[in-house]
Amino acid sequence: MPINADIHYQKAEDEYNDASTTEEKIKALQNMISKAPSHKGAEMLRKNLKTRLAKLKSSLEKSSRKGSFQKFNFKKEGAATVALVGTVNSGKSTLLKGLTNANVLIASYPFTTKKPEFGVLDYYGVKIQLVEIPAIVNNFLNTNDGKSLLGIINSCDLVVLLFNTPSDKKILDVELFDIKVKKIIYIEHENIKDKIWKNLDLIKIYTKEPGKPKAYPPVALDKGNTVRDLGLKVHKDFIKNFDYSIVNGNSAKFKNMRCGLKHVLKDDDIVEFHIKK
Ligand SMILES: Nc1nc2c(ncn2[C@@H]2O[C@H](COP(=O)(O)OP(=O)(O)OP(=O)(O)O)[C@@H](O)[C@H]2O)c(=O)[nH]1
Ligand SMILES: [Mg+2]
């Protein structure tokens, strides 16, 4: 016990030593800080306690972040990840099954899907990960898995919302009002694959060797990316020894346009790299 510390401090310290979880330790440490002697001689003690508290808080935050993803074994894969989010029986699993290879259960009773279900959508060779989130209900964040599921939703590049009735839509609006996703779309039964692709802000680019047909699958890039970005993704040597490229497709002003590294590409372009001999 430090000099001049009183009985209250001693009690808080005992609680700290007895604490078994990080949360309990944080609480006890905050108590110790508030009860620590305020004179100059105890300055070092107060500083040490605060450092210890900061470390505990950051380790708690890290483990809860990790936990939210590990709980469901979620790992982002592919060019982008899209969440299928909706109220009960809104057809999330039907959509997932229709668009991907996922073998999910579809049934007319509510809450058929109890954990996130994954599938891979193949868009002209570009792999896009889809994840069905179990149905969103009133007060969703306070349900057992609410926070973990929200963590998954927030890490996605696009959210597709599904619902059956206006009151279901209201549930989604209320429960998801502060999600941090770049983009949210509603799906009507139009050409869903194309709609998802259009909203991902990606482009698919084909590479090609001189004298050969275009290579498959295409490479997914962000909209606005250049020949340089493509080269970096395909083979770094293309950029190191770059001479010029031949571009055909939507960004080419004419057939076999000769372009430098800064040329901005468009969806479905075909690019041939020429390197210095
Ligand atoms: N609303 C709606 N229902 C559909 C559609 N397609 C199929 N269904 C039927 O709706 C019921 C629920 O479909 P699911 O795909 O399991 O719905 P879900 O949203 O995954 O349901 P939960 O996982 O239980 O929340 C099934 O009986 C389906 O046959 C659709 O496009 N819209
Ligand atoms: Mg389902």
pLDDT at 147 over 70: yes
Q: Which of 121-130, 145-154, 179-188 has the lowest mean pLDDT?
A: 179-188
Average pLDDT over residues 162-187: 88
Of 118 and 7, the structure prediction assigns the larger pLDDT to: 118
DSSP string, 177-220: TT---S-EEE--SS-HHHHHHHHTTEEEEEEE-TTSPBPSSPEE
Q: What's the rounded Cα separation, in Å, for the pair 277 and 275? A: 6
pLDDT in tens, 18-28: 887 888 899 99
Helix (H) or strand (E) holding 257: strand 257-259
3-state secondary structure of 108: coil
Q: What's the rounded Cα separation, in Å, for the pair 204 and 253? A: 18
Of 227 and 147, the structure prediction assigns the larger pLDDT to: 227
pLDDT in tens, 238-254: 899 999 999 999 999 99
- Domains in the chain: boundaries: 7-70, 80-199, 202-275
The ligand 1 atom nearest the CA atom of 112: 24
pLDDT, residue 163, reads 92
Average pLDDT over residues 132-159: 92
Name residues with Cβ closer than 5 Å to ligand 2, which is an ion: 92-93, 112-113
pLDDT in tens, 53-111: 999 888 877 666 554 555 787 888 999 999 999 999 999 999 999 999 899 999 989 89
> Which tokens sit at 63?
């483990």
Task: Give 83: exposed, middle or buried? Use CB within 10 Å, 0-12, 13-18, 19+.
Answer: buried
The rounded percent of the chain whose pLDDT value lies above 70 is: 95
pLDDT, residue 265, reads 98
Helix residue ranges per DSSP H, the chain: 7-18, 22-35, 43-70, 92-99, 146-154, 166-175, 192-199, 227-234, 236-240
pLDDT in tens, 115-132: 999 999 999 999 999 999
pLDDT, residue 185, reads 87
* CATH of region 7-70, choose from 1.10.760, 1.20.58, 1.10.287, 3.10.450: 1.20.58
Average pLDDT over residues 142-168: 92
Starting at the edge strand that comes first in sequence, how are the strands of the sheet with 270-275 ordered?
Answer: 219-222, 202-208, 270-275, 242-248, 257-259
**What amino acid occupies position 192?**
I
Name the pTM for this structure: 0.71
pLDDT, residue 7, reads 87
Q: Is 110 in the pocket of ligand 1 (CB under 6 A)?
A: yes
Fold of 202-275: Ubiquitin-like (UB roll) (3.10.20)
Q: How many CA atoms within 13 Å lie on the side-chain side of 149? A: 26
Give the phi and the psi of residue 52 in degrees, each rounded to 5. -60, -40
Give the phi and the psi of residue 143 in degrees, each rounded to 5. -75, 165
pLDDT, residue 236, reads 81
> Which tokens sit at 101?
């290879």
pLDDT, residue 69, reads 55
Q: What pLDDT band is residue 189 in, cutting at 50, 70 and 90?
A: low
- What is the Å distance from ligand 2's center to 148 Cα? 18
Q: Which residues contact 148 (CB under 8 A, 6 or more apart)?
A: 67, 68, 69, 71, 72
pLDDT, residue 67, reads 47
Q: Is 113 in the pocket of ligand 1 (CB under 6 A)?
A: yes
pLDDT, residue 57, reads 87
Q: Do domains 80-199 and 202-275 have the same CATH topology?
A: no
The ligand 1 atom nearest the CA atom of 97: 15
The ligand 1 atom nearest the CA atom of 106: 16
> Which tokens sit at 225?
């990316």
- What is the Å distance from ligand 2's center to 131 Cα? 11
**Burial annotation 97-132 (CB, 10 A radius, 16+ → b, else e):** bebbebebeeeeeeebbeebbbbebebeebebbbbb
The ligand 1 atom nearest the CA atom of 132: 20
The CATH code for residues 80-199 is 3.40.50.300
Q: Is 63 in the pocket of ligand 1 (CB under 6 A)?
A: no
